[in-house]
Amino acid sequence: MNLTIIRALLEDARQQVLDNRVFRLLVILTMVPILMTFVVAFREDALVVLWGFEPIYYADLIQSFGGGSIGDPSGIREQFIQTFQSLIVNFFAGSLGVIFCIAATAFFMPRVLEKGAADTLFSKPVSRFAILFSRYIAGLLFIAGIGGVLVLGMFFGFGLRSGYWDAGFLWGAVTLVYLFGLMHAFSICVAVLTRSSTAAILLTVVLFFIAGRVHWGWETIQYIQHSEMAVLMRESRQGATDDAEKLGSADEEDEQEGFLALMLGSVKVLHYTLPKTRDARIITDKLRRALTNDDFEWKSADGELVIQSAPRGFLIDTESRGELEADGVRWIPMSPKDAKEAELCIRRYPRPQVERGISKSLRPQTGRALAKELKQELEEQPTTVVQPTLKNLSYGGVRMTRVAWGAQGDHSVLSHQRLIFHFDQWIYEIDIVMSEGDTMLAARGAQPLQEFLSPQNMTLGSERHLGQDEWYRQQFGWTSPWRYNIFFSLASSLAFASLMLTIAWLRLSRIDF
């Protein structure tokens, strides 16, 4: 097959897509969210509709939806934009859009196989596989056209109107093509086997839902079996189960367990066989992070504390990595001239038990109480040249107490800040040290610190308190064990698509037109 034939097949695929009414309708529909990104500006504190015509403050918006007040407004704009992007690309395009596209492209292959059309096309010196594959490509062009317009339009809309240039968002279009590619392979297979557009649409939509549900079921099984939360819940229920066994319903439970094992086994087999459509959204996020270099900066061994990115202008001190309970995790300035005395350090230790209240019962110590103790100690120390002050702060719903003081360093007076808070059974301390008059942090204002402590950047209790979705999202990665591995997900899903196309080709090669 020469280049001319390939060009002809691609051109034919392009014409088929461009002539499709549903395609044109979907392109028009994609203009709606694109226009929104041009009409609405996402400013730091508010949405501005129609170039200042109507500002809507994020705080008001959240409260109108029943949310609480925003303690820390940093990162709220990004949250709003990313939520909007996710709503459009993941929900509308990734589910409804894909179903529309399945319906719109399902007739591509059956129409080729119709009597009269097939005779003309297959009598040309082109292999049947090439024609089959060209119809597959036509479907991909279909979704790529719509997805490309949507994602590029929104990308430029956010960039030009809101100054939010997020190249990682462009992965959304690739993921849409990937997701649809999996479904379209199945649609082509059904179309060749049945020569019916209706059968192709119905069965593909059914597969789309089943694959999603099976994968969700498998995630649930994994979550129940392996997440810390579920382990704790199981342990707490263990006693009740033991009691039930003593009551003598063992036979009935054996039957139930047999059925359950069968169900679990079926879900697992189906999960590993079917395309993992639910993973597509997470893969997009992971790719987005990879592109924007936004993978997490540091994570504690127990997964309780995750830092997404280093404080601006700092990099992690590799010598301190992973020692949260000892010397702490330390970030030092990137610039060598600033590296003399400035640093940012996080450490933690178990909450001490102290007698509290009238009953004098032992209770875990609070961060605020420890901050007060620190203030008293500092006031008595001779090296303290600037008297300590105490201030309560809240970052991402975590209440902290900040102690700020000045102390004599080797070369100059050092400005200290220590943020102390308790979380679960731990006391956390965040130390920020800089030379007095050092412009590094001061000149940039509190913004870098706010960003560092924002819930988007610093996540606490990330393993234990995660729901199923978040837990799976954390397990799923490029270097995870094979069942949670992105490469395995991609490879097994693509293997499914390849199998469908192979079945279609084998059937097609045996058809007498």
Residues that bind another protein (CB under 8 A): 1-2, 4-5, 7-9, 11-12, 15-16, 19-20, 114-127, 509-510, 512-513
Q: How far is the CB of 195 from another protein (least distance, A)?
A: 14
CB of 202 to another protein, least distance (A): 24
Per-residue DSSP letters for 392-434? Answer: EEEETTEEEEEEEEEEE-SSSEEEEEEEEEEETTEEEEEEEEE
Residue 118 or residue 305: which is nearer to another protein going by CB? Answer: 118
CB nearer to another protein: pick between 194 and 408: 194
Angle at 58 between CA 54 and CA 63, to 5 degrees: 110
User: Residue 258 Cβ, how far from another protein at the closest point, in Å?
Assistant: 37
Please state, in angstroms and rounded to a whole number, the distance separating the CA atoms of residues 250 and 396.
Answer: 49
Which C-beta is closer to another protein: that of 194 or that of 220?
194
How many whole angstroms separate alpha carbon 271 and alpha carbon 283? 17
Side by side, which strands form the sheet with 458-460?
Answer: 298-299, 305-307, 458-460
Smallest gap from residue 334 Cβ to another protein (A): 57
Distance between CA atoms of residues 503 and 86, nearest Å: 35
Residue owning tokens 């810390």:
228
Classify 42 as helix, strand or coil. strand
- CB nearer another protein, residue 123 or residue 236: 123
Question: Closest separation between CB of residue 186 and another protein, Å?
Answer: 24
CB of 132 to another protein, least distance (A): 14
The nearer residue to another protein, 113 or 305, going by C-beta atoms, is 113
The token duo for 211 is 């694959």
d(CA 442, CA 114): 73
As measured in angstroms, the least distance from the Cβ of 198 to another protein is 19
Pairwise CA distance, residues 397 & 456, whole Å: 12
**Token pair of 445, please?**
């204002």
Compare residues 235 and 512 and give the one whose CB is closer to another protein: 512
Q: Exposed, middle or buried: residue 50 (CB in 10 Å: 0-12, 13-18, 19+)? A: exposed
Q: Which is nearer to another protein, 5 or 39 (CB)?
A: 5
Q: Beta partners for 386? A: 406
Contact between 115 and 496 under an 8 Å Cβ cutoff? The reply is no
Cβ proximity to another protein: between 15 and 502 the closer is 15
Residue 348 contacts residue 324 (beta carbons within 8 Å):
yes
Q: Give me the least distance between CB of 144 and another protein, in Å please.
A: 18
DSSP 89: I
Closest CB to another protein among 5 and 490? 5
Minimum distance from residue 122 beta carbon to another protein (Å): 6
Handedness of CA 90, 92, 95, 97 (dihedral sign): negative
Is 95 strand, coil or helix?
A: helix
